[in-house]
Amino acid sequence: MDLYNNDKSTSKIKRAESVNERIPDGLFLACPYCGTQMYNKQLGAYRVCANCGYGFRLQARERIELLTESFDELDADVTMTHPDFPGYADKLQRAKDQTNLGESVLTGVATIKEQRVALGIMDSYFMMGSLGSMTGEKITRLFEHATSNRLPVVLFTASGGARMQEGMNSLMQMAKVSAAVAEHQEAGLLYLVVLTDPTTGGVTASFAMQADITLGEPHALVGFAGARVIESTIHEKLPKDFQRVETLLKNGFVDDIVPRPELAEKIATLVKFHQVTEE
């Protein structure tokens, strides 16, 4: 009976603890769109899925590196000073630490393939790119700066929508930014949007859908209402690519889909078409 009573629950073969230390986290990744497993380095500098071309979510400062030759940040010090809502201050601080940003958008004047543009990049790592009052403030100031300096605006959108913690002030940003877009438009200047994964809610229902030219990154999720909300309202399952940029292209809401490595060139070409001749 000893044979059966032998307690083997503590294995004699010990796993070397150092194994965990030798294999770093995030060495292998799955593409959030097509699910293909790949070695981290396969993504390359642009962090694009080798199988389907999906662009992994980037932090704003990473995108600056990939996209621009020079970048002079504007309004770096603009940040929410009175986060009153319960738990908001902690969330905000964590977002700031993680992204090295004061708000969910990075703005400035950049050179992209020799073209000077007013550039805004929203960061989905900062509270899901939600539209806080200071996010709206920075984008509004970017448009104002562009209007008075006669620059085109290039804006990369990424947002889960309104920032719940700020309530009505968040909703009012949609109108505030739109007013600045209107003035920029009336000055005859180009506004170009690049929809990146994910662009939803109040951002889709305002400045993401007000540009002269709207580009999108492959497979980016773009929509107004959340897929779960739609499914529970109409009681049916949505098709697979329902809110992907490819569907928006088919339905006529996007001008073109541009792979991430080609974006700088495409933006520069489009900006050149709209060059304002100095008088």
Partner 1 sequence: MAVNIGLKLFKRELTPKDIVKKSREDRFLAREIINGIFTDFVELHGDRLSGDDTSVIGGIARLNDQPVTVIAIDKGVDIHDKLSKRNGSPEPWGYRKAQRLMQQANKFHRPIVTFINTPGAFPGKTAEAQGQGEAIAQSILLSMKLTVPMIAIIYGEAGSGGALALATSDQVWMFQNSTYSILSPEGFASILWKDSKRSDEAAALMGLTPKDLLEKQVIDYIIPESRNHPRVFSLIRKRLDNEFKQLNSLTPEELMKQRRARFRAF
Binding site for partner 1 (CB under 8 A): 85-86, 133, 136, 140, 162, 164-165, 167-176, 178-183, 186, 201-202, 204-210, 223-226, 229-230, 233-234, 236, 238, 242-243, 247, 251-253
Burial group, residue 114, by CB count within 10 angstroms (0-12, 13-18, 19+):
exposed
Q: Which residues contact 164 (CB under 8 A, 6 or more apart)?
A: 130, 170
For residue 57, CA distances in Å to 90, 122, 157, 167, 226 come to 23, 11, 12, 26, 19
Strand partners, 191: 153
Burial group, residue 70, by CB count within 10 angstroms (0-12, 13-18, 19+):
exposed
Residue among 115 and 206 whose Cβ is closer to partner 1: 206
Residue among 67 and 153 whose Cβ is closer to partner 1: 153
Task: Using alpha carbons, select from 43, 7, 11 the residue that is nearest to residue 26.
Answer: 43
What is the smallest separation between the CB atom of 172 and partner 1, expressed in angstroms? 4
Report the C-alpha gap between 75 and 81 in whole angstroms.
14
Residue among 124 and 243 whose Cβ is closer to partner 1: 243
What is the smallest separation between the CB atom of 72 and partner 1, expressed in angstroms? 24
The arrangement of strands across the sheet holding 256-257 comes to: 70-73, 105-112, 115-122, 153-159, 191-199, 213-216, 256-257
DSSP-assigned letters across all residues of 54-65: PBPP--HHHHHH
What is the smallest separation between the CB atom of 65 and partner 1, expressed in angstroms? 30
Asked if 226 and 243 touch (Cβ cutoff 8 Å), the reply is: no
Residue among 11 and 251 whose Cβ is closer to partner 1: 251
Report the C-alpha gap between 143 and 72 in whole angstroms.
15
Residue among 112 and 122 whose Cβ is closer to partner 1: 122
Residue among 115 and 133 whose Cβ is closer to partner 1: 133
Asked if 272 and 192 touch (Cβ cutoff 8 Å), the reply is: no
What is the smallest separation between the CB atom of 188 and partner 1, expressed in angstroms? 14
What is the smallest separation between the CB atom of 63 and partner 1, expressed in angstroms? 23
What is the smallest separation between the CB atom of 118 and partner 1, expressed in angstroms? 18
**Structure tokens given for 90:** 């902690």
What is the smallest separation between the CB atom of 167 and partner 1, expressed in angstroms? 5
**Structure tokens given for 240:** 């697979």
Residue among 68 and 176 whose Cβ is closer to partner 1: 176
Residue among 54 and 207 whose Cβ is closer to partner 1: 207
What is the smallest separation between the CB atom of 218 and partner 1, expressed in angstroms? 20
